[in-house]
Amino acid sequence: MSIDGQLPPKARLLRAAAELLANSGGSAVSTRQITQLAGVTAPTLYHHFGDKEGLFDAVVAAGFDEYVAGERDFAPSGQPLEDIRRMWDNHVQFGLKQPELYLVMFGNIRPESRPAIVADAEALMEEMLNKAAVSGQLNVPPKEAARSILAANVGVTLMLIAEKVPERNLELSAMTRDAMIFAVSTEQARDNGSVDSGKSSVVVAAIALNAALQASHSDQLSSSELKLFLEWLHRISNSSTS
């Protein structure tokens, strides 16, 4: 069993590494396995990729393209925060579908050395969050929101990967996802555009306070209090529609 196909050795190495990584079942993958499956010898690997990690980086880059493609396939961007939710789910699905690859990408943490891939994923999410921000749907800077959401997203995915398949409960993901998105979003983001007229003075005042709070970043309340406060405001603001 070898990868022949008359591809150039570089591509064969990439394919062999990806295949072994995907089927390794958690155990380590050696350069000898890879080169044997690719039908080349060791120096070829090091000529093209520098070292083992370079090869894995290249595999990860291809995997990341797939990841990004998945992330971008969504995003017809009616609702940026809805797109963020789909990005989250796509992230989790990617991790569960290719756990080995995912672990190389996001699970290979070393102190003081941040994998470039994480920064890329962060930038991707920040880009999307920027759209939400310009629509006034974010109450924290997009960069920090992206870092926070991605951290939780990775944490949840790692935990799901570590669990045995039959015990995996995607509710964990959904719950954490909604919590994070809710935390960074303003209240109007949870609104699907129900526009109403003939509001009472309470509603008007609530909307005014709402806007003022969002414009001025009141720090009179803690951020978590503010979330709850705004949720109530939202309830009051929508009271005329119910």
**Nearest approach, Cβ of 113 to DNA (angstroms)?**
15
52 near DNA (CB under 7 A): yes
Q: Do 132 and 87 form a contact (C-beta atoms < 8 A)?
A: no
User: Distance between CA atoms of 188 and 33, rounded to whole angstroms?
Assistant: 54
DSSP track, 145-156: HHHHHHHHHHHH
Cβ proximity to a second copy: between 61 and 205 the closer is: 205
46 near DNA (CB under 7 A): yes
Among 51, 53, 73, 163, binds a second copy (CB under 8 A): 163
Q: Do 226 and 180 form a contact (C-beta atoms < 8 A)?
A: no
Token reading at 65? 């393209």
5 near a second copy (CB under 8 A): no
Calculate the alpha carbon distances from 34 to 8, 17, 71, 98 in Å: 15, 6, 29, 18
Cβ proximity to DNA: between 41 and 218 the closer is: 41
**Nearest approach, Cβ of 4 to a second copy (angstroms)?**
29
**Nearest approach, Cβ of 112 to DNA (angstroms)?**
19
Using the rule CB under 7 A, give the single segment among 45-53, 92-100, 132-140, 160-168 that binds DNA.
45-53
Find the angle CA(179)-CA(66)-CA(17) to the nearest 5 degrees.
115
**Nearest approach, Cβ of 32 to DNA (angstroms)?**
4
User: Distance between CA atoms of 63 and 69, rounded to whole angstroms?
Assistant: 10
Among 5, 8, 25, 43, binds a second copy (CB under 8 A): 25
Among 7, 42, 123, 175, binds a second copy (CB under 8 A): 175
Cβ proximity to DNA: between 105 and 154 the closer is: 105
**Nearest approach, Cβ of 113 to a second copy (angstroms)?**
7
116 near a second copy (CB under 8 A): no
DSSP track, 75-103: ---SSHHHHHHHHHHHHHHHHHHSHHHHH
Number of residues that bind a second copy (CB under 8 A): 83
Calculate the alpha carbon distances from 62 to 57, 193, 228 in Å: 9, 39, 42
Residues in the site for DNA, rule: CB under 7 A? Answer: 8-10, 28-33, 39-48, 51-53
